[in-house]
Amino acid sequence: MNSCFQKETARVLADWDGTIKMRSVRSNLNLRELLEPLPCGDDFVPLCFRWNGSSSGIFQFGWVFNFPRWKHPIASCRHDWRCAIAKNKEERRIADELFREDIGIGGTKWEQRKGYWGVRLGALLGIGNNF
């Protein structure tokens, strides 16, 4: 299993200031691009990785199931990276569980639940799966 499919380790967190360095992508303002590698498990999400935040599809227009697209950029970046490199359903499941934990940093329990069940539904529908 890839070393990204675990909680962040002391090794990768040692020199990290806890912030994400990113910018908008001029050609697609729904995307962000990493300006510095981001700790992820015992490795890093690479420089220049692009992701679309927490894309909640049609639910972004609702009230109850709406998920804040850019409130959790670290969680969404790590999740999209893990989904991009996942080789099987087990790695995808781990990516989804770690997403829920990441949302808990600065997020509410309700956001954790909505985010987790949203990505699990996406996994069942094959959204973001590369296997």
In tens, the pLDDT along 21-57 reads 999 999 998 899 999 999 999 999 999 999 998 766 5
pLDDT value at residue 68: 67
Question: In this structure, is residue 3 part of a structural domain?
Answer: no
Domain that holds residue 90: 10-124
Question: In this structure, is residue 118 part of a structural domain?
Answer: yes
Tokens of 53: 């935040």
pLDDT value at residue 63: 57
The residues that bridge with 51 in the sheet, in sequence order, are 32
User: Per this entry, what is the length of the chain?
Assistant: 131
Whether the predicted pLDDT of 65 surpasses 70 = no
28-50 in b/e form (b: 16+ CB < 10 A) is eeeebbbeebbbbbbbbbeeebe
Q: What is the DSSP string of 53-84?
A: SS--GGGGG-SSS---TTT-HHHHHHHHHHHH
Question: In this structure, is residue 40 part of a structural domain?
Answer: yes
pLDDT value at residue 67: 67
Question: In this structure, is residue 130 part of a structural domain?
Answer: no
Q: What DSSP element (H or E) covers 39?
A: strand 38-40
Question: In this structure, is residue 22 part of a structural domain?
Answer: yes
Tokens of 35: 């300006």
Question: In this structure, is residue 104 part of a structural domain?
Answer: yes
What is the average per-residue pLDDT within 120-129? 87
Rama region for 84: left / alpha / beta (φ>0; ψ in -120 to 50; rest) = alpha
Q: CB-based contacts of 81: which residues, under 8 Å, 6+ apart?
A: 4, 38, 40, 45, 49, 51
Question: In this structure, is residue 106 part of a structural domain?
Answer: yes
pLDDT value at residue 4: 97
In tens, the pLDDT along 68-122 reads 677 899 999 999 999 999 999 999 999 999 999 999 998 899 889 988 988 898 8
Give the total number of structural domains in the chain: 1
Question: In this structure, is residue 4 part of a structural domain?
Answer: no
